[in-house]
Structure 1
Amino acid sequence: MTVAPPSRALKLFGTEEPRAEIRTLRAGPLSVELEAGKLRYVRMGGHEAIRGIAFVVRGPAWQTYHPAISNLSIEEGGDSFRASYDGEVDEASGSISFHAEIAGSATDGLKFSVAARTGSDFETSRTGFVILHAVDGVAGQPCTILHVDGSAEETIFPDHVMPLQPFFDMRAITHEAPPGLRVTCRMEGEHAWECEDQRNWTDASYKTYYRPLSLPFPYTIDGGSEFNQSVAVTFDGAAGDSAADGYSAIAVTLGAGSGKKMPRIGIGVPADLGRKSLEALDLLQGVGPQLLIAEYRADQNEADLSACQQLADALEAELVVEIVAPCERPLTEEMSHAAGAIAAAEVKPDAVIVAQARLMDFTLETLEALGVPSFEETYSAARQAFPGVALGGGVLTNFTELNRNHPTPDLYDFISHLTSAVVHEVDDRSVMETLQSLPSLIGSVRAMAGGKTYRVGPSAIGMRYNPYGPSTYDNKTNIRMAFNQQDPRHRALAGSAFTLGYVARMAAGEVEAVSLGAAVGEFGLAYRKMAHPQPWYDDLGDGGGWVFPHCHIVAAVAGA
């Protein structure tokens, strides 16, 4: 059977889902991009002032809804522009519609306003405007917060990633972008806004959002309710120079060696895919990973666990076993049980990473407030159960959870966490922009690790675990989706570029080991028939030894 070549969209992004149209609106030196109802890259004189402004509608489990846009109207003049549209969300959690007005002026700046109405009771964890300030050129820089009580606070954007909100009770925020150009963003609505450091989730921005997390969430907006919100951006002063407005060709050149050591490259082994991963031994021998990160579960098939040791022996790779402590019985009992099951499978780990089960989920609280066993107690039990085995500290989820609750360096031999690029925005540019946040993450972990070894992964574009809901989402329609494991770009050239950029950032930060995805499965290097669609590869079928493009990148960096 002859299979036609994949479309350009499948080659690049792994999906036929259309990309949103991007329209650049200009008013003299002011420019902004309109994409799917959101404003991106607010620039003055070519200088980025605001990364994004959007009226966001999220579900009760923090899932992002994408409003259906209709009646889009755009008018442009030399020194001004206007745009308007209607948006509608109709989900199981309820329905809401809104009318949006956007106005830009060379002299008066930018205003984005929304009049919204719920058609039925609408359950949400966040519905309102969010504003993004980019990290590059902003981190560590001064800003002024105007509070809702009229007081002003002189402060700075955090340099290291701040675990909780840096700014509260906000009505407006002013900063310079670049020096000499003062940018003020003012928000109007029923409640105050506050700001969180989105680098926690690898977003390259500080996000000012509605409404405060001190208020209950999720919450219900009564059916038939009407409300208005607006965001206004004004400018004062002038930048000392002008910048190119828009995009130009990018030249890629190879420079001299950095003098830094490439990280060791690892591959994940999901708990239910040990035997399937062993079947891919020939592929993995060609890739050459130096580490295997094996997931242990109490209900795991012993043969899947045993396969991890066989795989590690064949690859001469370090074997690291991840263990989640339920913290339902004495920890010494739980760790002894896990060690016994691992030994019964004839697995001899070189290292273990142990995490309390409660830290697999979102929290704003400390371990003590949660009533969770301390890191001292947890790691002491792990050391007792696995004598002579290196112990990894940290979390088995996103950096966010590590940043909010992390052990002291004296308790572990290395520190580790994961990342995902689809926690918030899932468009192609936003996913790639997450790479901009990695130096900040690396610097923040270095600050908490006290010189101990730093490892990352297994990570991918998709989300391995979902701390913010009951599970990751099943991407049955092969689209760009938040909180999903089966991200289509993983199989495409975009995934290859992301992987290379990810490793490059980690190498620049001298991270000791970076683990990427898995041999097979949702994060696999190679195609295997699965329950979710994999266009073009499904037509080729099993048995051909098909690998995804990023497999070649992983092999290249593993051999570097």
Structure 2
Amino acid sequence: MGTWRTTSATWTAGPWSLARRGAELADIAYRGRPVMRAIRAVARDQDWNTPEWTVDVLADDDTLSLGLQAGLLSGTLTVRGTAGELLIELDLEAAESFSTNRTGLVALHPPRLAGTALRATHPDGTVEDTAFPAAVSPHQPVFDIAALAWEHDGLAVEAVFAGEVFEMEDQRNWTDASYKTYSRPLALPFPYDLAPGERVRQSVTLRAKELRPAAPLAADTRIVLSPGGAFPETALGAATGPDPEPVPAPLGTAVLVELDLWTPNWPAALERAASAGLPLDVRVIARPGADLDLLAAHLVPHWIARVGLFDPDTHVTASLDGLRAALDRAGLRPPLVAGSRAHFTELNRNPAAALPDADALTFSATPLFHDPSTEQLLESVAVQRTVALQAAASGRPVYIGPVTLRPRFNNVAATASLASPRTDLAAGYGPEFTGAADRRQTDDPLAAWTIASAAALAVPGVAGLAWFEEWGTRGIRSAAGDPYPVAAVLETLAAMSPGELLWGDSPDGLVWALGSRTGPRTRLAAANLDREPRAFTVAFGPEELRLTLGPLGWAAID
């Protein structure tokens, strides 16, 4: 379980405390009460990639001083605390010209602040009264920030930003567990160049005052499951690794295959996905003018569950008219899906992509898009519930997936994506060139995470969940077909798919459960994302079940 624990060191100064995780200042608290999820220094290149800092601890007493170095940038991150104030200062210098989309400090506010009143002070001294968005905000909720003030959990908190103009975005769009206040407004041109010797100096000053005692923690941990319509179908993403392919037993109710019509091996990708013998959820990436009749001809021999069409630049659906006409000419009339092949972000920001003539909506989930830490992976699960509910509010069936740990492609890259020039799959396709694997894919705790993620995403209106890949470095099995621990979870979810969904809220974002009822038979699955053993109750109808699960553990109860 070592890869699921981030090395951290606690630092305190008077009433202030934080956990230092490399260059990140995490879990910032005042008298034990959370103030900030994290403050960190970032350096994003022109494709929004974030190099990892090399960190040297220069001082660790009344002042915490960290030496930072990444590529062409080096400098210090310094923290000083007094009775009511915590000062965080960044001083970076570019050794050579560095093209960047963002370099500076970012402050991550916890999602528990949703709906909390917020006062923003602008650089000209004017004040704006607003709130941390309750629904996931498609665009920046606050611009032109010099300071923010809010109250939560009996504390009055103020954050003062200096060295640049800041603004806020709702990172829950990407299932990040935060609102992010960052510098260099996106309205300014990017990328921009830091000249040799140019310095980036920014600071965040946190102030806190106790207004009243903290609210007591709930004594009991209880999950109440209620009927929620049909249990979502369980699908796997098609394997995108190189041949030869293993021949594992089919799992789930469909295989989701993405076909980029610009690449020469998309027909081979289609045929390999169809070899599982399951219905195909086909997601087509094509520019206007692509030969959709050729696509339809290749689909005719196969069992097609549904088809979607996405633009390769915007990653959303612009129109289904051409696809519908081509399928109709081929005698095919599968359900058509629209939305985003990237994150919920793109669907949220482009409501026109939810075409009224589409039969269903879709988006993917990639919790490690911004931050590869295990903390982000675990905390993202509660936010998955938020975006699932918001998407399902459309009233149309929602198909979420593929759910993958790392991105299948960089949807904000300024440079062209790589692809195989071959017509076969000897080198793989798609994410084999454009995506990233994660070392946690083969670990035992991913099984618990997947149960928790399924419980979070399976809300009324979500018709299907597609997971990972059939096999390979991003799969549920190795390239030889040997199952990873997460395969057992997908088998459990697939067995639950024919029933009625039983769903409910997690009391703390760490323990989760969901169920499936078929006649008198009820199946349950539960997970504990805490790093400590947890005892909790799952109630379903008149019945209750008391469970105790170990750290990052899960159970299936039949």
Q: State TM-score, norm by structure 2.
A: 0.79
Partner of 1:171: 146
Partner of 1:88: 69
Partner of 1:349: 304
Shift of 1:251: 9.9
Partner of 1:339: 296
User: Is the alpha carbon distance of 1:243 and 1:64 closer, same or farther for their aligned partners in structure 2, counting shifts above 3 Å?
Assistant: farther
User: Is the alpha carbon distance of 1:462 and 1:252 closer, same or farther for their aligned partners in structure 2, counting shifts above 3 Å?
Assistant: farther
- State how far apart, in whole Å, the 1-side matches of 2:240 and 2:73 are: 41
Partner of 1:311: 276
Choose the corresponding residue for 1:182, options 156, 160, 173: 156
Supply the AA of the counterpart residue of 1:259. Answer: P
The superposition leaves residues 407-428 of structure 1 with CA deviations (integer Å, 9 ceiling, x where unpaired) of 3452211101111122111111
Q: Aligned to 1:375, what secondary structure does the other structure show?
A: coil
Q: Aligned to 1:415, what secondary structure does the other structure show?
A: strand
Supply the AA of the counterpart residue of 2:283. Answer: E
The superposition leaves residues 170-193 of structure 1 with CA deviations (integer Å, 9 ceiling, x where unpaired) of 011111122x4211111101x310
- State how far apart, in whole Å, the 2-side matches of 1:41 and 1:269 are: 38
Partner of 2:532: none
User: Is the alpha carbon distance of 1:472 and 1:150 closer, same or farther for their aligned partners in structure 2, counting shifts above 3 Å?
Assistant: farther
Q: Name the structure with the higher strand share.
A: 2
- State how far apart, in whole Å, the 1-side matches of 2:207 and 2:328 are: 60
The CA RMSD measured in Å over matched residues stands at 2.7
The superposition leaves residues 70-91 of structure 1 with CA deviations (integer Å, 9 ceiling, x where unpaired) of 243111xxxxx4211211122x
Q: Check whether the contact 1:324–1:357 (CA below 8 A) recurs between aligned residues.
A: yes
Alignment of 1:136-155 (within 5 A): 136=112, 138-155=113-130
Q: Aligned to 2:462, what secondary structure does the other structure show?
A: coil
Matched, 1:558 2:489: no
User: Is the alpha carbon distance of 1:104 and 1:385 closer, same or farther for their aligned partners in structure 2, counting shifts above 3 Å?
Assistant: farther
- State how far apart, in whole Å, the 1-side matches of 2:26 and 2:13 are: 15
Supply the AA of the counterpart residue of 1:340. Answer: A
Alignment of 1:10-409 (within 5 A): 13=4, 21-75=7-61, 81-90=62-71, 95-105=72-82, 107-136=83-112, 138-178=113-153, 180-189=154-163, 191-241=164-214, 257-260=225-228, 261-270=230-239, 279-282=246-249, 284=250, 288-298=251-261, 299-300=264-265, 302-312=267-277, 317-327=278-288, 329=289, 334-343=291-300, 346-360=301-315, 374-375=318-319, 377=321, 381=325, 384=328, 387-406=332-351, 407-408=353-354
Alignment of 1:466-505 (within 5 A): 466-469=410-413, 470-471=416-417, 484-505=435-456
Supply the AA of the counterpart residue of 1:101. Answer: T
Partner of 2:374: 428
Q: Check whether the contact 2:44–2:51 (CA below 8 A) recurs between aligned residues.
A: yes
- State how far apart, in whole Å, the 2-side matches of 1:309 and 1:553 are: 23
Shift of 1:160: 1.6
Count of aligned pairs: 475
- State how far apart, in whole Å, the 2-side matches of 1:382 and 1:231 are: 56
- State how far apart, in whole Å, the 2-side matches of 1:50 and 1:297 are: 41
Alignment of 1:536-551 (within 5 A): 542=480, 546-551=482-487
Supply the AA of the counterpart residue of 1:142. Answer: A
Q: Aligned to 2:476, what secondary structure does the other structure show?
A: coil
Q: Aligned to 1:185, what secondary structure does the other structure show?
A: strand
- State how far apart, in whole Å, the 2-side matches of 1:239 and 1:472 are: 56
User: Is the alpha carbon distance of 1:46 and 1:382 closer, same or farther for their aligned partners in structure 2, counting shifts above 3 Å?
Assistant: farther
Note the residue ranges of structure 1 that are not aligned, 5 or more in a row: 1-7, 14-18, 76-80, 245-249, 362-372, 474-482, 529-541
Q: State TM-score, norm by structure 1.
A: 0.79
Supply the AA of the counterpart residue of 2:165. Answer: A
The superposition leaves residues 50-100 of structure 1 with CA deviations (integer Å, 9 ceiling, x where unpaired) of 11111111222111122211243111xxxxx4211211122xxxx111122
Which stretch has the larger CA shift, 294-303 or 396-405? Answer: 294-303
- State how far apart, in whole Å, the 1-side matches of 2:269 and 2:182 are: 44
Q: Name the structure with the higher helix share.
A: 1
- State how far apart, in whole Å, the 2-side matches of 1:551 and 1:173 are: 45
Note the residue ranges of structure 2 that are not aligned, 5 or more in a row: 420-433, 497-558
- State how far apart, in whole Å, the 2-side matches of 1:309 and 1:35 are: 44
Q: Percent identity?
A: 25
- State how far apart, in whole Å, the 2-side matches of 1:256 and 1:89 are: 47
- State how far apart, in whole Å, the 1-side matches of 2:118 and 2:239 are: 45
- State how far apart, in whole Å, the 2-side matches of 1:390 and 1:187 are: 50
Shift of 1:342: 2.6
- State how far apart, in whole Å, the 2-side matches of 1:164 and 1:152 are: 20
Q: Check whether the contact 1:118–1:222 (CA below 8 A) recurs between aligned residues.
A: yes
Shift of 1:303: 4.9
Q: Check whether the contact 1:130–1:207 (CA below 8 A) recurs between aligned residues.
A: yes
